[in-house]
Structure 1
Amino acid sequence: MASSSPWTDWQWENAVAGSVAGLATVTFTHPLDVVRTRFQVYDGRNPNLPCYKNTPHALFTIARSEGIRGLYSGFCPAVLGSTISWGLYFYFYNNAKQRYLKSRDKTGARIHLASAAEAGGLVCLITNPIWVVKTRLQLQTPQNQFRPYTGVGDALKTILRDEGWRAFYRGLVPGLFLVAHGAIQFTAYEELRKLIIDFRHKQVPSKEKSSKLLTTIDYATLGAGSKLTAILATYPFQVIRSRLQQRPTKDAALRYIDSSHAMKKTAEFEGVKGFYRGITANLLKNLPAASITFIVYENVLKLLKRTNKN
């Protein structure tokens, strides 16, 4: 009998399901992601950054002045990054969870927390260059002081030529802190999911499979609830990461040098609200996005498992 590998076990199905879920999510929510990024980097000091009153005003202004292309700026790296990130995240997460379950050195919520942290760290290291390019493309506006990037390839080439390879890892430190976002989200999701299944077990026959106890509405609610918890806890790190990943301004006084400098300047000039710029667009984007992601993920996973058995 041939020995099994991670890709012959069920983990590969999680990678495929995660990738499909990520692609579906980013396609429907990208305009809000553009708005969120532009709000995050606006600090009131840089005249080359657009100022919007609120999320509807930002969407209307971008659509009027830049067209659909503006609302979908950075879409290609967003699709690439989201698809790769979700695929790798679900794969690394479930692989780690199975490993911890076998070793029995962690139990319950600690397994989910450790698995999510491990997966998030690995994904962050692999995908950071993609998010740098996405952020740069999303921030290209009519007020831009630089020659615009013509696309992903031009952005990669220009960043490497003008700033060196280190620029692709700007924002890595707050990105690694954002590993806590995934850890919080997945821990909340798994624990809430377990509570609902345990509750439903009391209402259905004992032989009923746990996968049949949850509905699409359950997956949507679980996804949104776990995402809200994670956003509120970790959003300031997203703001700092975006500010570090933006294209360096020609005015050295307006640049953010590193994470501690960005945090200091944000607190000094904007106070607490500076760390939560763009959170409305972020919630509008991510709460339904999380619901879509987990609905697609759970249903694609079920389909793949059924197909694999046949």
Structure 2
Amino acid sequence: MTTMWSEDWKWENAAAGAVAGFATVAALHPLDVVRTRFQVSDGRPSILPQYKNTGHAIYTIARSEGLRGLYAGFSPAVLGSTVSWGLYFFFYSRAKQRYHKGDNDKLSPGHHLASAAEAGALVCLITNPIWLVKTRLQLQTPKHHSRPYAGFSDALRTILKEEGLSALYRGIGPGLLLVTHGAIQFTAYEELRSTFIYIKSREVRTKNTGGEELLNSFDYATLGAASKLAAILLTYPYQVIRTRLQQRPSSKGTPKYLDSWHVVKETAKFEGVRGFYKGITSNLLKNLPAASITFVVYENVLKIFRVAKGQS
């Protein structure tokens, strides 16, 4: 079987990642809207409604804003997720290729961690403006602003006009720190995947050199959810900090938070440790199945490419 590290495989990794990212967003976007609104709910007076829990939030948004509210920011979410996952898998596979020295060499956890961190940093720098617009559209309610954004392109134009180019990179600091999220997730996924393959290969007493065909979609779903859980628990506060930084300034043009340290101080002062985990329930409800979907789609799309190229 042709090695998965060959140069020919890079576009397949990108395409599989892009398809996986689109499938994930399309299925679970309403929970992302809820998570974002919880993350900026700091207990102080706000134009945003106050939600009791995830179920109440979904019900309230659906009743007051309709389906449009539940899918606020959907266009940049689809674009951002598709581009991010496509680029992530592309950069990740290329980084692993550099560390890989031979067909039979197994990459160490350190190599997986470095590859994932490198891929995450590159993707963050490229996609931060998309995620900023997505966040602002998700926080926009009918009563939120006298001049609401009409959509993705209008938001970009308005931000550039009112706040300048630098505004598109608000939250880039915690965004880069969130590189550790992907690094933890992918390292955990690769190590768990290798363990699953080893256990299954012993069960069937095979000397299979790749092992990919030993795993099924349920295995990939389990691996994706488990690796995502580890990453979320360890890095979630960075997400809260980034979301709070990316809020739209007031009508006077004054941002609610000046920088990441300001967010940390204010959150710790008024909310304590719990403030850094606002919205984690809806985040878990969204991202655990999302990670499962992503890796199931990604691995199966790669299998389709292998079959199509006669490399199965």
Q: TM-score range by the shorter chain?
A: over 0.9
Offset at 1:253? 8.3
Structure 1 CA distance for aligned equivalents of residues 216 and 310 of structure 2: 22
The equivalent residue for 2:120 is 120
The equivalent residue for 2:229 is 228
Structure 1 CA distance for aligned equivalents of residues 253 and 15 of structure 2: 44
Structure 1 CA distance for aligned equivalents of residues 107 and 279 of structure 2: 37
Structure 1 CA distance for aligned equivalents of residues 7 and 146 of structure 2: 49
Structure 2 CA distance for aligned equivalents of residues 33 and 95 of structure 1: 30
Q: Which amino acid counterpart does residue 32 of structure 2 have in structure 1? A: D
The equivalent residue for 2:33 is 34
Instruction: Tell me, yes or no, if the aligned pair for 1:23 and 1:83 is still in contact at 8 Å.
Output: yes
Structure 2 CA distance for aligned equivalents of residues 298 and 283 of structure 1: 22
The equivalent residue for 1:188 is 188
Q: 1:131-182 CA deviation, whole Å, 9 max, x = no partner?
A: 0100010011123034110011110000000000000000000000000000
Q: Which amino acid counterpart does residue 270 of structure 1 have in structure 2? A: E
The equivalent residue for 1:3 is none
Offset at 1:250? 4.0
Kindly indicate whether residue 18 of structure 2 is the aligned counterpart of residue 19 of structure 1.
yes
The size of the alignment, in residue pairs, is 305
What is the correspondence of 1:69-218 to structure 2 with a 5 Å cutoff?
69-102=68-101, 107-208=107-208, 209-218=210-219
Q: Which amino acid counterpart does residue 51 of structure 1 have in structure 2? A: Q
Q: Which amino acid counterpart does residue 123 of structure 1 have in structure 2? A: V
What percent of counterpart residues are identical? 67
Offset at 1:251? 6.8
| Distance change >3 Å, CA 191–CA 76, structure 1 → 2 | same
Instruction: Tell me, yes or no, if the aligned pair for 1:13 and 1:305 is still in contact at 8 Å.
Output: no
Q: Structure 1 stretches of 5 or more lacking a match?
A: 1-5
Q: Secondary structure at the match of 1:246?
A: coil
Structure 1 CA distance for aligned equivalents of residues 6 and 226 of structure 2: 31
Q: Secondary structure at the match of 2:309?
A: helix
Q: Which amino acid counterpart does residue 305 of structure 2 have in structure 1? A: L
Instruction: Tell me, yes or no, if the aligned pair for 1:46 and 1:254 is still in contact at 8 Å.
Output: no
**In angstroms, what is the RMSD of aligned CA positions?**
2.0
Structure 1 CA distance for aligned equivalents of residues 44 and 143 of structure 2: 14
**Relative to structure 2, which stretch is displaced further, 39-48 or 149-158?**
39-48
Structure 2 CA distance for aligned equivalents of residues 132 and 67 of structure 1: 23
Offset at 1:254? 7.2
Offset at 1:8? 5.7
Q: Structure 2 stretches of 5 or more lacking a match?
A: none
Structure 2 CA distance for aligned equivalents of residues 155 and 81 of structure 1: 15
Instruction: Tell me, yes or no, if the aligned pair for 1:50 and 1:143 is still in contact at 8 Å.
Output: no
Offset at 1:205? 3.7
Structure 2 CA distance for aligned equivalents of residues 254 and 143 of structure 1: 18
Structure 2 CA distance for aligned equivalents of residues 231 and 78 of structure 1: 19
**Deviation >2 Å, runs of 4+:** 205-209, 249-254
Q: Which amino acid counterpart does residue 35 of structure 1 have in structure 2? A: V
Structure 2 CA distance for aligned equivalents of residues 244 and 142 of structure 1: 21
Q: Secondary structure at the match of 1:309?
A: coil
Instruction: Tell me, yes or no, if the aligned pair for 1:235 and 1:275 is still in contact at 8 Å.
Output: yes
Structure 1 CA distance for aligned equivalents of residues 101 and 54 of structure 2: 47
Q: 1:244-269 CA deviation, whole Å, 9 max, x = no partner?
A: 01101247887100001111111111
Q: Secondary structure at the match of 1:145?
A: coil
Instruction: Tell me, yes or no, if the aligned pair for 2:201 and 2:207 is still in contact at 8 Å.
Output: no
The equivalent residue for 2:300 is 299
